[in-house]
């Protein structure tokens, strides 16, 4: 490469915000175009390019393999080959347009699920869907600072009332302003007090103490807590606090200081006692199936496995118990969600993605009713709570109930809270106990805080509704999320928690992070007995 050519390339990389090390030059010289490299770097947040980084970024290349021997096309994700003469390293994900019926899946994980528990088939039972909360048509924010203040006041008022009415506090709390006014009095164990507010500015000192600020309607107070010697790893002083979550604290002010610290002896969370589930009637027992993150339109959508699931729906006896199919967001991959996304799409028109998804869902048995939420890849506002998909999109669908995200609804009396789960990103970034491989820990943290997305200004965009509608006022019988492409079924204090599986194979970005999704697992729940079945189609 001539020096003038390299100067042009270096300028292009610099203008894209990338810093190039010497070890990257041989790799960059071999590239026909810098556009894929720049797009991959932007989508993965890379700014410094060395030899290894360039090779990793350029492994994000999708190919369509044409097998002329049988006339079929396959989608594959490939990585760099060892030499130019060798084909890319990769694996075939799924043939498109398979004509032979796939065999029934053989891998199932059951928790007492039995066909004998269903006196009637789902097609013989009428639908019973009741919506308790959906932001669609009910958003009233104007985006003003007063809306934001009202939202936080609403959150504080709702959760503080839960604490008071359920005995979660050792004594009746006083306002921060009253506590501060009388701080010289409340400076011994004989005068301990309780205050309630929004936590923020959480950090740990060098000696392991946790500092944070607690704010109510009146003022802010700086707090400090020493982790108890016998503290459980999930104790807030070890696990952490979410910004803007509501807590109560009991303690006293330090003495002899101009700006005393409030020394916390105990942290109180909103009440979450053991929950007693509601059940559908025994004579009208049906099942609900749960899935999320279909990401149709992506090159990593698993076509063959979808066909396998449709075949199962139309042939397996267990499928005849399924009355509802809940899709918790990201039905399509969307367009313009991240830089360079168009390179990873099989369908680059958003409305065509939704139209083709509608055609896929038409293959479900006619007795199955779909409940569809939006997610962060869907064509709705990114700020939560999100309204349902636009009526122009809905018109292509049949047997589908479109709701917002989150949605609180009941199926035959069983209360379900379905939330796409974007805030899991914030819980992973903040709490030590939460990781992408264990999304159930984020779900547990949401229930314990009685709030789906506490942190303002984090990874989850929030709409400042005058009434905070992300508070969990009623403990659900079933709590379901998605978003991070894992899978989990388990119980927490009487609530059945489901982290729905995805229908998308490992993406380039996930591969770079070493994250392995758990795709193509359909979770089925008997709404009368709460027995579950996880059917694997991968």
Q: Residue ranges of the domains in the chain?
A: 1-58, 63-92, 129-140+287-536, 169-268
CA-based nearest residue to 489, from 426, 446, 535, 425: 535
Position 63 pLDDT exceeds 50? no
CA 38 to CA 25: how far, in whole Å? 15
Position 61 pLDDT exceeds 60? no
Which residue carries 């479900």 as its tokens? 364
Provide the terminal-to-terminal Cα distance of the chain, rounded to the nearest Å: 46
CA-based nearest residue to 365, from 329, 318, 330, 333: 318
Give the per-residue pLDDT at 9: 81
Give the per-residue pLDDT at 378: 96
Q: For the ranges 287-301, 337-351, 388-402, which has the lowest average pLDDT?
A: 337-351
Contact indicator for 133, 452 with CB cutoff of 8 Å: no
Mean pLDDT of 223-238: 92
CA 322 to CA 535: how far, in whole Å? 13
Q: In which band, very low, low, confident or very high, does the pLDDT at 14 lie, cut at 50, 70 and 90?
A: confident
- Report the mean per-residue pLDDT for the chain: 88
- The tens digit of pLDDT for each residue in 483-494 reads 999 999 999 999
Rg (CA), the chain: 26
**Topology (CATH) of 129-140+287-536:** Purple Acid Phosphatase; chain A, domain 2 (3.60.21)
- Dihedrals φ, ψ of 414, to 5°? -90, 120
- The tens digit of pLDDT for each residue in 83-107 reads 444 444 333 344 444 445 556 555 7
Contact indicator for 381, 291 with CB cutoff of 8 Å: no
CB pairs under 8 A, 24+ apart, for 168-172? 168/248, 168/268, 168/269, 168/270, 168/271, 169/194, 169/196, 169/248, 169/250, 169/268, 170/194, 170/250, 170/266, 170/268, 171/250
CATH number corresponding to 1-58: 1.10.8
The better pLDDT of the pair 478, 51 is held by: 478
CATH number corresponding to 169-268: 2.40.50.140
Topology agreement, domain 129-140+287-536 and domain 169-268: no
CA 332 to CA 351: how far, in whole Å? 10
Which residue carries 């969307």 as its tokens? 334
Give the per-residue pLDDT at 284: 85
């Amino acid at each position: 490469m001539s020096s003038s050519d390299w100067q042009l390339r270096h300028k292009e990389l610099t203008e894209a915000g990338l810093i190039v090390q010497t070890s990257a030059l041989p790799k960059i010289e071999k590239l026909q175009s810098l556009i894929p490299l720049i797009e991959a770097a932007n989508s993965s947040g890379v700014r410094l390019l060395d030899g290894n980084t360039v090779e990793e970024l350029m492994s994000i290349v999708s190919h369509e393999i044409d097998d002329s021997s049988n006339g079929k096309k396959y989608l594959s994700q490939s990585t760099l080959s060892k030499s130019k003469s060798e084909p890319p390293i990769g694996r075939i994900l799924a043939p498109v347009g398979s004509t032979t019926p796939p065999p029934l899946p053989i891998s199932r994980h059951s928790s007492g699920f039995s066909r004998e528990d269903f006196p009637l088939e789902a097609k013989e039972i009428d639908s019973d869907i009741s919506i308790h909360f959906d932001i669609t048509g009910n958003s009233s924010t104007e985006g003003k600072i007063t809306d934001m203040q009202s939202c936080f006041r609403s959150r504080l008022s709702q959760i503080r009332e839960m604490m008071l009415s359920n005995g979660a506090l050792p004594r009746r709390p006083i306002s921060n302003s009253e506590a501060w006014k009388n701080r010289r009095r409340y400076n011994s164990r004989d005068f301990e007090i309780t205050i309630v507010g929004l936590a923020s500015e959480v950090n740990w000192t060098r000696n392991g103490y946790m500092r944070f600020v607690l704010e109510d309607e009146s003022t802010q107070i700086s707090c400090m807590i020493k982790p108890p010697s016998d503290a459980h790893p999930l104790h807030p002083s070890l696990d952490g606090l979410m910004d803007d979550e509501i807590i109560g604290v009991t303690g006293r002010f330090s003495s002899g200081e101009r700006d005393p610290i409030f020394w916390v002896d105990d942290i109180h969370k909103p009440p979450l006692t053991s929950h007693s589930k509601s059940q559908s009637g025994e004579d009208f027992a049906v099942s609900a199936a749960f899935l999320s993150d279909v990401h149709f339109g992506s090159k990593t959508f698993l076509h063959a496995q979808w066909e396998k699931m449709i075949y199962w729906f139309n042939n397996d006896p267990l499928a005849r118990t399924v009355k509802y199919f809940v899709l918790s967001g990201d039905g399509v991959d969307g367009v313009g969600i991240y830089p360079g996304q168009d390179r990873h799409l099989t369908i680059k028109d958003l409305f065509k993605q939704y139209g083709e998804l509608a055609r896929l869902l038409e293959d479900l048995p006619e007795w199955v009713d779909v409940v569809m939420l939006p997610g962060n890849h869907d064509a709705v506002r990114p700020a939560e709570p999100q309204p349902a998909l636009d009526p122009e999109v809905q018109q292509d669908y049949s047997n589908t109930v479109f709701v917002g995200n989150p949605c609180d609804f009941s199926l035959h009396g069983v209360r379900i809270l379905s939330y796409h789960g974007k805030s899991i990103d914030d819980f992973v970034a903040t709490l030590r106990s939460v990781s992408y491989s264990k999304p159930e820990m984020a779900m547990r943290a949401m229930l314990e805080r009685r709030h789906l997305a506490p942190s303002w200004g984090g990874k989850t965009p929030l709409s400042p509704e005058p009434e905070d509608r992300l508070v969990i006022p009623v403990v659900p019988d079933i709590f379901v999320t998605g978003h991070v492409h894992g899978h989990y079924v388990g119980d927490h204090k009487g609530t059945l928690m489901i982290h729905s599986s995805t229908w998308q194979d490992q993406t380039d970005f996930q591969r770079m992070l070493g994250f392995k999704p758990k795709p193509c697992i359909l979770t089925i729940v008997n709404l009368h007995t709460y027995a579950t079945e996880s059917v694997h189609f991968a």
